[in-house]
Chain A
Amino acid sequence: NAGVTQTPKFRILKIGQSMTLQCAQDMNHNYMYWYRQDPGMGLKLIYYSVGAGITDKGEVPNGYNVSRSTTEDFPLRLELAAPSQTSVYFCASSPDFLLAKNIQYFGAGTRLSVL
């Protein structure tokens, strides 16, 4: 199993550009999450999904959108990139939380700079 795969690893955007951060997992996990991490800070939850077709906002959803058309994929969309969105983005997945108490498995991250 590859686990959680994020692409791209690095990206530089100009202000106002749009992009999609890709996240895929091959562990058949129902729960998926997007976090952002600013330097020296913890992870802040942007959006999460409890299954295909179901998404919900986290702590910092403004400026982002998500979709979950399949169990495997959970892309994060930035529509109008702003410098405040410069950050490291992590995708994570989790099996049924009732069984595994919401242990999360993280991708390697996407380092995004908006200039």
Chain B
Amino acid sequence: GQQVMQIPQYQHVQEGEDFTTYCNSSTTLSNIQWYKQRPGGHPVFLIQLVKSGEVKKQKRLTFQFGEAKKNSSLHITATQTTDVGTYFCPLGGSNYKLTFGKGTLLTVNP
């Protein structure tokens, strides 16, 4: 069945360093979404990518959707302590359910 692998599972950085997390799918995706969950908080929708090769930016965050629509990345430039949390790229598709993996836990040392 469809699977999305997210790497790394954990990442610890010094404040100011860059950070990237990757999602890789075994099959072509119709779209991909990214969510962020702060420690003790709830998942919050960040962005959705739909088009092949799409790149979207939100301030220091850059989201990419691969040309083959099988992978995606989230890059954070110059991390801040407010970036701490778990980033998820749940598996969606043609139905109305999302399957969340463990995500990537980012910790930032001030």
Known: A31-B96, A50-B96. A101 touches B31 (CB 8 A): yes
Q: Are A101 and B92 in contact (CB under 8 A)?
A: yes
A64 at the interface (CB under 8 A from B): no
Q: Are A103 and B33 in contact (CB under 8 A)?
A: yes
Q: Tell me how far the C-beta of A102 lies from the nearest C-beta in chain B, rounded to whole angstroms.
A: 5
Q: Are A90 and B102 in contact (CB under 8 A)?
A: no
Bound form: Cα–Cα A31–B96 in Å: 8
Q: Are A58 and B97 in contact (CB under 8 A)?
A: yes
Q: Are B43 and A90 in contact (CB under 8 A)?
A: yes
**Interface residues of B: mostly helix, strand, loop or mixed?**
loop
Interface size on A, residues (CB 8 A): 26
Interface size on B, residues (CB 8 A): 22
Among residues of A, the one whose C-beta sits closest to the C-beta of B47 is A103
Q: Tell me how far the C-beta of B50 lies from the nearest C-beta in chain A, rounded to whole angstroms.
A: 7
Among residues of B, the one whose C-beta sits closest to the C-beta of A48 is B97
Within 8 A of A (CB), among B27-46: 30-31, 33, 41-45
Q: Tell me how far the C-beta of A90 lies from the nearest C-beta in chain B, rounded to whole angstroms.
A: 6
Among residues of B, the one whose C-beta sits closest to the C-beta of A107 is B42
B66 at the interface (CB under 8 A from A): no
B103 at the interface (CB under 8 A from A): yes
Known: A97-B96, A101-B48. A40 touches B102 (CB 8 A): yes
Point out residues on B near A: beta carbons under 8 Å.
30-31, 33, 41-45, 48, 50, 88, 92, 95-103, 105
CB-defined A-B contacts under 8 Å, sample of 28: A33-B97, A41-B102, A42-B88, A42-B100, A42-B101, A42-B103, A43-B100, A44-B100, A45-B97, A45-B99, A48-B96, A59-B99, A94-B96, A97-B95, A101-B30, A101-B33, A101-B50, A101-B92, A102-B92, A102-B96, A102-B97, A102-B98, A103-B48, A104-B45, A104-B98, A106-B42, A107-B42, A108-B42
